[in-house]
Structure 1
C-alpha cells in the first residue's frame, strides 16, 4: 500500500517512480489499482511493455479487473485492428492502452498515468531507422503532459537505479513476494565431465521426475532457437555460413531450412557437403527445436510446450500456449527469453537454465548486466504461489564472479559491484555515449567516412572534454552483404555532448559521400554489434 499511496499522491503532476520489486511481489497489482483510480476520474492510462508476448496475459488481467475500454497496440495486429485501436485512443474512447514501444507515440487526450513495465529490457530501444528509447521518451512525455510515470522491474537497469540513488526518481521497493510465496532457491550445477542427455544433467533429470510426480510444472530455459546452430562436414570441416553475414546459418527442421537469424536469408539444407560432396554432415549444438524432440523419450508421459518466436508465429498461437500452461495442461514448458519476464506460472516449481555460459564472456560492457537480469528474471518464474520453487543453473564456469555474486548477494549485490566498476572505468551511467555507425558494400568506404568524420569533429569548437574512439570495424563486420564500422563518442557532461552532436550532425549532413554509404547516429547505444 505504501507504493500505491505514494504514486496516488502524485496524480495530476509529473513525478517519475522506480517501482523496484522482486519477481512476484505484486507490481502488476500496483498498476491495476492506480489505473482503476485514473479511469474512475475519467482519464486515460498508457502501459508500455517490451515484447508482444507479454500483452495477452496482461490484457486478460486488465480487462477482468478494470472498467472501460482496453485496447492493444503492437505490430502483430492486423492493420485494420491497429488503426481502429489507435483511433479509439486518440478519440478518448479507450481508457487504457497496452502496447509495445511504438505505442508511446499514441495520442491520448486525457493521459494521466504512464507505466513502463520491465523497464530494463533492451527491446524498449528501437535499434534501426528512427532510433529511440521508449522508456526515455515515456519519461519525457510524462514531463510534458504533467503526469506520474512508473518504471517497473525486478531487475532495474543500472541507469535507472543510478537516477533513483541520485533522487531524480522516487524509489519504491517491494522486497518480498506477495502472499505466502517465497523466493526460489537458486543453485549452480557444475556439469564439467558430467554425462548429459538432451543437454540435461542427471541431477536435473531426477529433479524433473520428482516435480512431475508431484503434479507440478517445469520450465526449461534455452536461449537458442532452431534445431542446431552449426552444421559441419565431418570429412573436410566445411561449416554452413551465411553468404551475406559473418555468422553461421542455423538449422531448422520444422520446417526444414537453413536460416540466418541476422539477415533472414533462407536456403535449402544441403544433403551433401558443398565442398567435398561427403554425406557425413553433422549437427553441432542444441536449439529449442532439438531440445523438444529429445525430451519426448525422456519424459514420455509429460505434455511439452515449446514457446519461442518460431513456434508462436501464427496469430493467436502464443495466447493458446500460455492459456494451456495456465490451465495445467502442459507439464514441461521450454523456450527462449520470451519466457524470461512478466509471465505468471503459479504451478511452475522448477526452473532449469541449460546453457547461459556464452553470455558470461561477451565483449560488450553491458553483457554482465544483461546476464544478471536474464538469470534473475528466468529464476523468478519458479515458486510464485504457495508451492516452493527451485532453480538449477547448469554451467561449466561455477566459479565465475557474476554467478557467485548473484548467489551470494542477489541482484542488489551485483548492482553495487557493477556500479562501482562502471564508475571506475568511466562508463554509463557515469558518462554518456554516442555511436556513429557507417556501412557500405565496400569494407574501405565506412572506415574512410568515419576517419573523415573524426577529423571534422576534432576541428569543432565544442570538443573540449569530448573523447572520440575509433574508427573500428563493428564486432559483426558483415551483415546483409554490407560492411559495418563505428566511431564512439564519450563525454561526462550530457549537455556538452548534445551541443557537440548538434554541431557535428550539421557538418556530417554536408559531407560528400557516395550513394552506397549509409550512416546513422545512435545516442545512448545499448548494442555495439
Structure 2
C-alpha cells in the first residue's frame, strides 16, 4: 500500500511500501536523484489508479528501530505549519536533528543500541529529596506551587528578579515526575547563554542522566543524542531554546517557559514561529500544565492573565504573583533607582561624575558593578569631517561598526568586514573620527577613569566585557561568567547578554549608560522591550541578602523625567503595563488586534514594493468576489508596502506590507488564501526581480 512521506517540498508526496507503515514512521525516500529523510504522515491510502501505480516510487528504507512520532507531535507540527503559513514538511523536518537526515537505518540502529546501554547503566530516575528539602520556600513560592498543583493553568508566574522562580520550576517538575514514573518535563529558555546555568540547577536536582539539552550550540552528534533521549523517554527533563518546543516528548507532563517575554522566542528565519505561543498551544492540546515565568511579562501574557471584572470575563491564564525577593522584607530588597540628567553634564561625558564616584566606592569595598550599553563595537560610525564620508556598508543600507580591537569596520547585518582605512577613502584626510560609543569604547574609557582606584587588597581594578564579540569562541562565555562569579572581575561591561537570568551575587550597582534610544522609536513594542531590559538589569543588583538596602540602579538619560523611567524607579511593572495597554487599546494594537507582515526581497526596492502592492490589489479583487472569503477580507486592513527599517541587506532590497485585523480567524483565512496568489505572482514574468517572499504572523517588530 502506498504511504505518503514528507520531504522539504510544499505538498505531501506518495510512495509505496510492501507493508503498511504507521503514521509518524521515519523513512528514507528517493527525491529526484537524491535520497532524503521523510516522515509517514498518514496511514495507508487506497491503491492509486493502476495506470499511475507504476509511477509511484518505493520507500528506500524504514527506520523501524525508532518508535514512530506520535499523534500529539504531528498535530503540533501541523498546527505550526498552518498558523505560521509554512509548508508542513518544512516545519516537520526542521524539528528533527540534522544528523537524522544523513544516517542510514543501520547507523541509527547502532546509535539506538548505544542509547539503550547508556540508559540501562544510568541511575534510576526519581526524586534527590534532600536537595529540595534543604531549600526553604517563601510564602509566595508555597502559594504559587499550591495553585500549580491544584489548578489547570496556563499559569503566568509574575515573579520579581530574585524571588525564586527557578525553585518553583524545580518543585513543579519534581511533582510532575513523582506522579508518573515515565513523565517528562520541557523547560524553555530564550537564549543559549542561559542554558548552562539552568541546566546545572536541574542536573543537581535530578541527576545528569535525567536531563537532556537541546539548542543550536550543540554539535550535530550531541543534538541527535539529546533528541533520541527525549524521543525514547530516557530523558525525564528536556531543557533548551526555542527549537526544543518541537521536541518529541511522548510522555510530556509539564512545560516551563522561563523569561517568557523575551523576543528571542520568536524565530526570525524560515518558519517564523513563537516558541512561547506554541508551548501554550502544546500544553492545551496535550492536556498538560504550562508555566510562563517572567519579572516583566509580555503585554500579551499580562493581558491574558487579567482577572475578571464587570462584563470582562478575564484572561485565559492564571496569574501567580511573587513580588518579594528572597531574604528581603516583604516587598523589599529592590535596588534604589537613581537618575542622572545628562543634559546637565559636560558635553561628551560618557560616565557622569556622580556615577563614577559610586562605581569607585563599590570597587573599593570589594563589590562589583555592572554597566549596560546595548551596542557592541567601539563606535557605530566612522566619519570624515572634511568631506562627510561615513563608514557605510556597500551591501546594506546601514553603517559598518568600528571595532578597535582588530581595527576593522564590520557590518552587523551582512558580516562584510574590512580593515580601517589609514585615510578617508574619498578625500585622503587622515583625521577620521568616530560617532557614538559601543562597549569596546566604554571598556577602554572606564579603564582610564578607574586607573588610580584600588581594590581592598591594593590591586588595580579589573574590568571585563561580555558581548557577542568577546564571547564568539567556544567556551568563552562560560569562562568569563565563571570569572565574574568567582570575584575576579570588579566592573563588568556588556550588552543585554549580561542582564538576563544571571545570578551575580557580588553585584551591588548596575548602570544603564545610554538607554534613551528606544524611548521614541517608531516600533510600538520598543517601550515594552526597554522597560523589560532595564528591569532585568536592575535585578542583577542586590541579589545577595547582605546587600539589600544598599544596591543601586543608575540611569544616565537626557529625559530623566520620562514616565517609563518614573515607573522603573518605583519598580512598578503593573503600572507600566496598564499605561501601555491603555495606549494600545486606543491605537488598536496587539493584544487588541492581530498583525501579520507580507515581506518581499528583490533586486530593487521598486520591484519588492510592486510585488506586494500587486498582491494586495489582486487579493482585494479576488476575495471580494468569493462568498467564502468576502467576510474575512472585510475584516482585514491592508497597509501600503514600505521599506524595512534596514531596507537593503547583502545587496538585496527588502519591503513589507502590514495586515491588521481584530479577528485572528479572519486574518488566518486571508493569509491562507494569499498563498496560491503569491506563488502565482512570483512565477509571473512581471515579478522576476523578486528573490523571495515570506509571511510573518504575529511579528515582534514592525
TM range (shorter): over 0.9
CA–CA distance in structure 2, aligned partners of residues 393 and 263 of structure 1? 32
Q: 1:409 deviation in Å?
A: 6.4
Matches of residues 138-157 of structure 1 in structure 2 within 5 Å?
138-157=279-298
Q: 1:228 deviation in Å?
A: 1.2
The count of residues paired between Structure 1 and Structure 2 equals: 525
3-state SS, counterpart of residue 50 of structure 1: coil
Answering whether residue 196 of structure 2 is matched by residue 52 of structure 1, we say no
CA contact (8 A) 1:32 1:66 kept: no
Answering whether residue 372 of structure 2 is matched by residue 221 of structure 1, we say yes
Find the partner of 1:277 among 422, 425, 428: 428
3-state SS, counterpart of residue 463 of structure 1: helix
CA–CA distance in structure 2, aligned partners of residues 305 and 340 of structure 1? 15
Find the partner of 1:243 among 394, 403, 410: 394
Bigger mean CA offset, 505-514 vs 240-249: 505-514
Q: 1:187 deviation in Å?
A: 1.6
For 1:382, the equivalent position in structure 2 comes to 541
Find the partner of 1:360 among 508, 516, 519: 519
For 1:168, the equivalent position in structure 2 comes to 316
- Higher alpha-carbon Rg: 2
CA–CA distance in structure 1, aligned partners of residues 468 and 414 of structure 2? 16
Find the partner of 1:36 among 174, 184, 187: 174
CA–CA distance in structure 1, aligned partners of residues 406 and 571 of structure 2? 44
Bigger mean CA offset, 432-441 vs 247-256: 247-256
CA contact (8 A) 1:445 1:517 kept: no
For 1:508, the equivalent position in structure 2 comes to 678
For 2:700, the equivalent position in structure 1 comes to 526
For 2:497, the equivalent position in structure 1 comes to 338
CA contact (8 A) 2:272 2:696 kept: yes
CA contact (8 A) 1:198 1:291 kept: no
Answering whether residue 488 of structure 2 is matched by residue 329 of structure 1, we say yes
Bigger mean CA offset, 298-307 vs 403-412: 403-412
Give structure 1 stretches of 5+ with no counterpart: none
Answering whether residue 648 of structure 2 is matched by residue 478 of structure 1, we say yes
For 2:532, the equivalent position in structure 1 comes to 373
CA–CA distance in structure 2, aligned partners of residues 15 and 191 of structure 1? 46
- The alignment's TM-score, normalised by the length of structure 2, stands at 0.73
Find the partner of 2:334 among 183, 187, 203: 183
Answering whether residue 238 of structure 2 is matched by residue 87 of structure 1, we say no
CA contact (8 A) 1:195 1:202 kept: no
CA contact (8 A) 2:158 2:320 kept: yes
CA contact (8 A) 1:230 1:283 kept: yes
CA–CA distance in structure 1, aligned partners of residues 701 and 302 of structure 2? 20
CA–CA distance in structure 2, aligned partners of residues 255 and 9 of structure 1? 57
1:160-192 superposed Cα distances (whole Å, 9 cap, x missing partner): 111111230111111111122701111211111
Q: 1:70 deviation in Å?
A: 1.4
- The alignment's TM-score, normalised by the length of structure 1, stands at 0.96
Answering whether residue 178 of structure 2 is matched by residue 19 of structure 1, we say no
CA–CA distance in structure 1, aligned partners of residues 290 and 542 of structure 2? 30
CA 1:203–1:287 in structure 2 vs 1: closer, same or farther (change >3 Å)?
same
For 1:72, the equivalent position in structure 2 comes to 213
Q: 1:515 deviation in Å?
A: 6.0
Q: 1:33 deviation in Å?
A: 0.9
Choose between structure 1 and 2: higher strand proportion: 1
Bigger mean CA offset, 352-361 vs 74-83: 74-83
Q: 1:284 deviation in Å?
A: 2.2
Q: 1:408 deviation in Å?
A: 4.8
1:172-226 superposed Cα distances (whole Å, 9 cap, x missing partner): 1111111227011112111114137872110011001111122111111010101
CA contact (8 A) 1:198 1:294 kept: no
Find the partner of 1:295 among 441, 446, 450: 446
Answering whether residue 616 of structure 2 is matched by residue 454 of structure 1, we say yes
Q: 1:504 deviation in Å?
A: 2.1
CA 1:84–1:198 in structure 2 vs 1: closer, same or farther (change >3 Å)?
farther
CA–CA distance in structure 1, aligned partners of residues 293 and 270 of structure 2? 27
CA contact (8 A) 1:406 1:413 kept: no
CA contact (8 A) 1:198 1:295 kept: no
For 1:433, the equivalent position in structure 2 comes to 595
Bigger mean CA offset, 178-187 vs 400-409: 400-409
CA–CA distance in structure 2, aligned partners of residues 510 and 104 of structure 1? 33
3-state SS, counterpart of residue 361 of structure 1: coil
1:433-462 superposed Cα distances (whole Å, 9 cap, x missing partner): 111111101221111111111112212123
CA contact (8 A) 2:603 2:689 kept: no
CA–CA distance in structure 1, aligned partners of residues 349 and 400 of structure 2? 22
Answering whether residue 348 of structure 2 is matched by residue 230 of structure 1, we say no
3-state SS, counterpart of residue 363 of structure 1: coil
CA contact (8 A) 2:336 2:552 kept: yes
CA contact (8 A) 2:439 2:494 kept: yes
CA–CA distance in structure 2, aligned partners of residues 316 and 110 of structure 1? 33
CA contact (8 A) 1:231 1:283 kept: yes
